[in-house]
Structure 1
Amino acid sequence: MAQVLHHIDGAFFHESWLSRIKEDVGENRRIKISNLKKILQGITDYYREVLNQHISEYLLPDLSQIAETSDPAEMGRLLQLILGCAVNCDKKQEHIQTIMTLEESVQHMVMTAIQELMSKDAVDSPTIEAAGDLEQQLKRSLELLQEAEAEKEELRQRCQELDLQVAGLQEERNSLLAENEVQNERLNLLDSSEEPTTIVAKKYLQIQLEQLQEENYRLEAAKDDYRAHCEELERQLIETQNRNDELASLAEESRALKDEIDFLRSAADKAAKLEATVESYRKKLEDLNDLRRQVKSLEDTNLMYMHNTVTLEEELKKANAARAQLETYKRQVQDLHTKLSMETKRADTMTYDMTRLQEKQEALVKEKEVLVLSPV
């Protein structure tokens, strides 16, 4: 990453700065974090001193996660900031042209990262409406440039397909011409008494040959049309690139105007803040007596709250004592209920035993009566 920053702007990220980045750190976490801090500080200084921008706190990556686990999300934030340096430096047009030569998938990801960075309000200072319009035009120009490249590639592939079709039709035409010559030689060898079927076959071959020639002419015309359209798209692409350069120049001018406006606004804000501070001190002096009265009232209220607190604490102690006595009564009642249940069970048992003894007695009495009445 340090080498990339040196390539982006060798004057700012000079050799002396690059030499401070230690290489071959291995698994040394402390040196990794030190290198990352130097890189992030360099990027922050570049945004502030060269691009006149200030990076918001929520855009800064967590360096400890990058050093420990190589977190993809945090690494992406750092690389996104480096990409912002590339597309905003003096050689940004060169870097944009390099981006346009990448693969379509990689190019789409890079463009998405640039748009995301621009849409996150990386600059905290106020922006003027003209600068915003120019940035929107610049975004639109980049999108049009990308669309033109995609359409150009699609037309190029279409031209290649048409060339292959034309080549195939030409081969088929040559084959038919050779076959036609063979048929003509055969027809020449025949006398004037040739059969009608041979004449019909010859006419059929001539009609088919004419149809193939017409199809060949049509494909040639379509290929020329596509080539003309491709050349028109290339011309529009060049015009879009020139317009993009003009917009980039206007964007730089708008940044300079915006910096001047920001400086004037900052001075006006400071003056307004000083006036507001003086006015607030004046009001504070005027309200000093009211504040003293409020303090006295608050002290009285605080004293009353203290008395109420002491009273409530005493009542709480009494309530706790009553609660403890109530718990004792509850335990006693529970014990009495337990004893009552046991005695009830005991009484039921005794009643059952007495019933059995009565039944046994009645049985013995009956048996005795039977024994008495029976003859000896």
Structure 2
Amino acid sequence: MRRLSRSEGTSPRANWNYSGSISLQYQPFEVEETVASPPPPPFKAGAKHEIESMSPLMCWLQTFNTTAPCKDVRDLTTGAAMAQVLHQIDAAWFDESWLNRIKEDVGDNWRIKASNLKKVLQGIMDYYHEFLGQQISEELVPDLNQIFEHSDPTMLGKLLQLILGCAVNCEKKQEHIQNIMTLEESVQHVVMAAIQELKRALEELQEALAEKEELKQRCQELDLQVAALQDEKNSLISENEVMNDRLDQLDGSLDDPNTVVAKKYFHAQLQLEQQQEENFRLEAAKDDYRVHCEDLEKQLVELQHRNDELTILAEESRALKDEIDVLRMVADKASKLETTVEVYRKKLEDLNDFRRQVKSLQDTNMMYMHNTVSLEEELKKANAARAQLETYKRQVKELHNKLSEESKRADTLAFELKRLEEKHEALIKEKERLIVQRDALKETNEELRCSQMQQDHLNQTDASTVGSHENLAAEILPVEYREMFIRLQHENKMLLLQQEGSENERISELQEQLEQKHRTINELETEKSVNLCRLSASNKLKQKLEAHMEKLNKVHDELQKKEALLADLQPDLNQNTQKIEELEVALCKKDEDMKAMEERYKMYLEKARNVIKTLDPKLNPASAEIMLLRKQLTEKNKRIEALEGECKLAKLRDYEEKLIVSAWYNKVSIVVLGSRARLLLLDSFKYPIANLVHWN
């Protein structure tokens, strides 16, 4: 035998504990009638309720994989589905040969239905009698005529109840119990009730059989006593006949009183009379004893009734003692509960203080959460600022490098411009000198031409005229001297020109050296200014970085302290995980937007650089390029400030959402604490009842 216990309080599935026996109660079953053809036979007055109360066993029966349908009452009246279920319950007993005897294609043939149901019922009876060693009472045996003629749900429920008993008593009982455990709780209750009803009927049948065996044994004893008394009666009758024969023989000899026989006869007659008197006396005593015995029997009956009453009273007294023990335990528990109630009253009196403390703790918690969120925001801002600072450092370094290059380029261009201006001035001077020299050469050429023309004119004149002129020229200046004078003047001019050219070359060399020195000085001054700017910028950046690092360290320390306090005050924040993830997703989206905007800014900056590079440097001097870069830098700073403002607004929105979430969480925790306190107060006035359903 086995026992399954089900403890209440576990919903929706019941806890089944196997311990060796079954104890359940039968309750009506529920099922819906859905068959449309043939026309259903008329049911009794309570048929609808019985059909509705049969569905749990139908649900249990449908857990078996049967080829035959078992959805309604008419499907079960064929007997095929129940036979297949029995085959699955115990395939060794209800084997294939037995299953093949059950016909599935029944239709409306009530004879085949009756044959199938008789075979199923006979198989169940044999299984209970031979395999389980149990007898089934007539109350549990269903009327098959009512099933296949009228589809009586009561009789069908009895048959399903017997099948359920086979399932919970077979070798695979644990598997079937597990299948029952998978059903709904209401179905489990009904199945448990059915098994308990079946078990109680079987126990009553066993008690009746035991009583029958006892009565049978008593009848056998009485039969033996009757047989012994009959034998004794027969022996006495035979002895009486023998004595009558002897008496008849002795009648003749009794007439003579002198004979020994007559004497013995008279003596025996006297003894007989004495015995008769004694018999009469004994009869009277017997009557007295009979009356006394009847009185004693009456007294015995009265004593038995009184004994029964006393037994009932003893049982009642034992029950009362048990109840007294229970009440004593309840009284002890009540006293404990009274003390607990007093404690809770005191706690309720202190509840206002606790509420104020809770409110202050909530305010402190909110403040800590606010500080934590602000510190987290500051930490995120510091991290973002650190990354942005690195980016700015890199960009500033690039801009400084570019500025130094542009400064060098500007200085070089300025120096080249100055050098070109000086060359221009030198060329202008040289041009003026060449103009002067050209004028001198023109004058010389004119003089030479005039002299040549004079010479030709002199050759063509007549002698007189020549003589007069020669005398005049001789008087004035000879031709050789004049030619020599012109040649010397020309050489003098050429020497002057050579001297001026050598001096100009030396001056140009000195000017080039001077320009080189100036260029070197300008480059050094430019590098010096750039280095000074870099040094000042690096010092400022170092100071800012140190200030930010100190602030960041302070923020880290405060954040660690706040995290420790927050971990002590709020050890479990799993309920905010989803909201935090959403906020993180939003923050990631904001970061992606920021990155996209930075990428767009870099792209625009690169485009601007490309535009600047494509422009003609002659049309865009270095100062204009530097101003353009400064303008772009200011625009970039403005854009960065605008993005920082948007980021702050986004962080403020995230912080407001976090505050709302934390307030909701605190409210829920307070409501849960209040409900728990109310439940504790309610449970303190109730008795803990452990309702267990045992399967005996």
Q: Give TM-score scaled by structure 1 length.
A: 0.39
Instruction: Flag the structure with more relative contact order, 1 or 2, with Cα contacts below 8 A and sequence separation at least 6.
Output: 2
Larger Rg: 2
Q: Which one has the bigger helix percentage? A: 1
Q: Give TM-score scaled by structure 2 length.
A: 0.23
